Structure 1
Amino acid sequence: MTQTHLYEVQLDAFVGPLDLLLHLIKEYEIDIYDIPMSELTNQYMSYIHAFESLEINLASEYLVMACELIRIKSELLLPVDDDIEVDDPREELVEQLLEYDNYKQSAQLLEEKYNERLLYVSKTPMDLTPYSNSQVELSDDLSLSDLIISYQRVKQRKKMIQQDEVVIYEDQYSVLEMNRLIYKHLDSSDREYVQFSNLANVIQHINGIVTIFIAMLEMIKHQQIIIKQEKAFSEILIYRGDYYGRL
């Protein structure tokens, strides 16, 4: 004897009988405030019979709704006495459908907002207390030479940033190569430090300078080097760190 297996599934993408009814109402352009119960019941029962013929076990709520639709359809077929005011048997069903549709639209809106929020990454606030008392020393005694030097630095920086055309270069520098370059200059320097500008002059190309800067950040993280500045916007000085020499 062959054993028949019954599977309980959702009908297409419907999450309940009200969802199925709303689908039928929209598909057949039925006026929800004046539902032709005969047409709606027939369409609903067609779905039910189609799945029963496939031996798919329907959720009980779908069968309960089928009974309710048949009941309402039967009441509408009964003769009506014009002298007696009778409530429309469809009224409760219409209220349920309108309320369900409202919740469904609200749920879709919340899902859209949730998906939009997934595109953002939140960052916890930083404690800036250690920097609250920091002060930048500004000199009131500026000479013409200082202004000329500052102007040349800004002009050079602007020249590096602005390009007449965008050129895409193949990667020619690696962080490891820049690490070795920094070690090389520190080992050969007759001072305790090397200047960042000296390293930048060796490479010159903006991609290499960016790679050197990334390498410096990695080396600072691993305490291989220490960065110092005498004052704001002054030359960046690179010193040996506690773990200097480890790649």
Structure 2
Amino acid sequence: MATAAVVDPGFARLYGEPLLRMPTDLYIPPDALEIFLDAFEGPLDLLLYLIRRQNFNILDIPMAQVTLQYLKYVDQIRLHNLELAAEYLLMAAMLIEIKSRMLLPQRKSDNDDATGDPRAELVRRLLEYEQIKVAAYDLNAVPQIDRDFVRPELYIEQSLVPKWPEVNAADLQNAWLDVLKRAKLTEHHRISRQELSVREHMSAILRQLQSSRFVEFADLFEGNAPVPIVVVHFVAMLELAKETLIEITQAEPFAPIYVRLAYSPA
């Protein structure tokens, strides 16, 4: 009986033809797997990639499938670079522990109705890592200087830019005083004529001295009186002293000056 020949389908096809053996000129870099793993930031990044690629619900992770796929990656890199795989092996041990705890029957404790989900801590770490990764991606999308745009620089000759001196408070005060000084030079002064009687002021001084024995010199003059009146009042006082109607006395040098009526014996 003739049997049909079994055709070897090969392990791959090239231009429609099956490949029955590995090409001798095919070169695979020894660090190809390491370069692939360097694309991940760590075990959480690789685990999150496996979950999202399979469209698994991160709140209900099928630990058996995820652990199996994760271990395949770890087994490959462990043969080439054990130092690179050390951090990934720690996560693999955690996945195996979670998977083993899920296989055990749940026991009710005295305080709680049921034990917690063994995947809860892993889910929490994955969610936090994903939030941070999205935030980092959004932050990286913000335009950065010297990466996305260049700040324009314009060089100007120093001689073309006028540099004004700074004005301080003392300079401003001196300028204001100079303005006042020049304003006084152009100020108009009007002289008015006023008739004043020395005799009337002499009588006023005698009336003022009759009510007091001694009157201080400064008290004879009103503080707000105009200058012409003060001058005439002083001349009137000198006339009274000249006619010996009043006496101007002083107890000692630099002592107050007093004015009184001249003493006349009874």
Which bracket does the TM-score occupy, shorter chain normalised? 0.3 to 0.5
Greater relative contact order (Cα < 8 A, sep 6+): 1
Which structure: larger Rg? 2
Normalising by structure 1, we get a TM-score of 0.44
Normalising by structure 2, we get a TM-score of 0.41
